């Protein structure tokens, strides 16, 4: 990323040296680039500008209020999956009319709140959910605008944990049933079908699965149109994959041009729900080497960041680039296992990484802006790390490191329990 570059052997985020960030907030910490977020969002918005569209940023990738406020100011809509995410958008003054609500298990109270603020659309994933939404809307004297999330049964060719468009997945309504459910939805009081939605998976680096899915959605669209069911928008779900390890995903421009070409003259608003491609390479995690444990078989660099802070390597065997923040030439390059302090063998950030490092050095774990902080936990009673947004040379702490006593603030002793 042009926003995280080395200058005279030292890694910067925009115009801020990462050593300065670490000195100010400590490690581990997440560091984001405002310019990178802006650029990644605009790549979608500009590519879509030729027709009716909405970029609904998927909050799940990174829901820090500073990120949401920035994207809202650029005109983004939002894809939410919980009432918590809805309240985050409202907290930054985001427009409910630009929110779509995804997810297989929306609770009734979540539906109610979303109906009360009048979100743009619910992406409904089953008939049972459609009926619940209709009942809830009727009880409020409202009509919910809905898309049915159809499962087009295409193989996204990505990691099984993040592939969602095959018929064996829990997601969506089988494409073969979709037409019938649209007819049902049309007759059902309390809901109004206005869109067709799908999401086939994440970290896709080729266009063909997206195009296969689109073709199936367009066939469905045309059958519905022939039956007099007017669809106003197509929502193709998450965005493109990113470069973690030299992958070369298509650009939003190429992707959207290909979509628009197939959509042709159909007067459809195009909605996308990108998360990773906006956030991943707009952030990194800084961690400090605490101890080196060279060994015959394996050599370990024990760092202060762990799986609770960044779980993607442990959970998905995900590879994220790790570099030393300050290049050094006084020690040999050696292959290191980059591991954290958590008591699990699976607690690692990288395997077998060639690095020239010494105890006390700072490391950057790249591409950590998406599915990084949001997936952090307090395992081992470790406070979640702070988040920093860089703007030029300015360092804005947009979330403080969690305080230790906040970790047990909601807990209580049993009555009468006193230390012996």
Contact residues for ligand LLP (CB under 6 A)? 58, 61, 79, 102, 162, 199, 202-203, 237-239, 273-277, 312, 316, 371
Distance CA 170, CA 197 (A): 15
With a CB cutoff of 8 Å and minimum separation 6, the contacts of 415 are none
Mark the binding-site residues for pyridoxal 5'-phosphate, compressed into ranges: 239, 273-276, 371
User: Closest separation between CB of residue 265 and ligand LLP, Å?
Assistant: 27
User: Per DSSP, which regions of 152-232 are E strands?
Assistant: 173-174, 191-197
Closer CB to ligand LLP, 221 or 276, in the complex: 276
Give the dihedral sign, CA 256/260/263/269: positive
Closer CB to ligand LLP, 58 or 111, in the complex: 58
Closest CB to ligand LLP: residue number: 238
Mark the binding-site residues, compressed into ranges: 239, 273-276, 312, 316, 344, 371
Closer CB to ligand LLP, 312 or 366, in the complex: 312
- 198 among known catalytic residues: no
* 350-384: burial string, b at 16+ Cβ within 10 Å, e else: beebebebeeebbbbbbbbbbbbbbbbeeeeebbb
User: Closest separation between CB of residue 411 and ligand LLP, Å?
Assistant: 28
Asked if residues 278 and 37 have their Cβ atoms less than 8 Å apart, the reply is yes
User: Closest separation between CB of residue 147 and ligand LLP, Å?
Assistant: 11
User: Closest separation between CB of residue 61 and ligand LLP, Å?
Assistant: 5
Closer CB to ligand LLP, 160 or 360, in the complex: 160
For 98-104, the CB contacts below 8 A with 24+ separation are 98/54, 98/56, 99/56, 100/56, 100/147, 100/197, 100/235, 100/271, 100/273, 102/149, 102/197, 102/199, 102/237, 102/273, 104/129, 104/170, 104/171
Of 29, 121, 198, 343, which one is the catalytic site residue? 343
Mark the binding-site residues for substrate, compressed into ranges: 276, 312, 316, 344, 371
Where in the sequence numbering do the catalytic residues fall? 343
């Amino acid at each position: 990323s042009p926003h995280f570059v080395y200058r005279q052997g030292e890694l910067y985020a925009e115009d801020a040296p990462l050593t300065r960030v670490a000195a100010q907030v400590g490690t581990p910490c997440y560091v984001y680039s405002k310019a990178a977020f802006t650029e990644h969002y605009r790549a979608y918005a500009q590519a879509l500008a030729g027709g009716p569209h909405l970029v609904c940023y998927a909050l799940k990738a990174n829901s820090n209020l500073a990120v949401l406020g920035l994207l809202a100011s650029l005109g983004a809509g939002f894809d939410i999956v919980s009432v918590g995410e809805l309240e985050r958008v409202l907290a930054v003054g985001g427009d409910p009319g630009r929110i779509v609500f995804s997810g297989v298990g929306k609770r009734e109270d979540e539906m109610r709140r979303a109906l009360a603020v009048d979100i743009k659309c619910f992406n409904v994933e089953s008939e049972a959910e459609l009926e619940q939404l209709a009942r809830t809307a009727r009880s409020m004297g409202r009509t919910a605008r809905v898309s049915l999330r159809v499962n087009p049964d295409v193989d996204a060719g990505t990691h099984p944990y993040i592939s969602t468009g095959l018929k064996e997945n829990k997601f969506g309504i089988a494409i073969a049933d979709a037409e019938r459910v649209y007819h049902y939805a049309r007759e059902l009081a309390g809901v109004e079908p206005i869109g067709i939605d799908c999401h086939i998976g994440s970290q896709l680096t080729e266009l063909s699965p997206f195009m296969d899915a689109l073709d199936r959605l367009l066939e469905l669209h045309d059958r519905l149109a022939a039956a007099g069911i007017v669809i106003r928008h197509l929502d193709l779900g998450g965005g493109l994959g990113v470069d973690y390890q030299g992958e070369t995903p298509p650009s939003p421009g190429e992707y959207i041009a290909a979509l628009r070409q197939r959509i042709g003259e159909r007067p459809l608003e195009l909605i996308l729900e990108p998360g990773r491609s906006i956030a991943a390479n707009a952030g990194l995690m800084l961690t400090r080497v605490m101890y080196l444990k060279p060994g015959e078989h394996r050599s370990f660099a024990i760092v202060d960041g762990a799986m609770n802070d960044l779980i993607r390597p442990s959970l998905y065997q995900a590879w994220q680039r790790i570099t030393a923040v300050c290049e050094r030439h006084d020690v040999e390059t050696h292959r290191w296992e980059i591991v954290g302090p958590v008591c699990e063998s699976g607690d690692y950030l990288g395997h077998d990484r060639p690095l020239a490092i010494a105890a006390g050095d700072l490391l950057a774990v790249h591409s950590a802006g998406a599915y990084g902080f949001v997936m952090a936990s307090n395992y081992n009673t470790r406070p979640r790390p702070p988040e920093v947004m860089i703007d030029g040379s300015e360092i804005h702490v947009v979330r403080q490191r969690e305080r230790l006593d906040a970790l047990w603030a909601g807990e209580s002793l049993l009555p009468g329990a006193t230390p012996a």
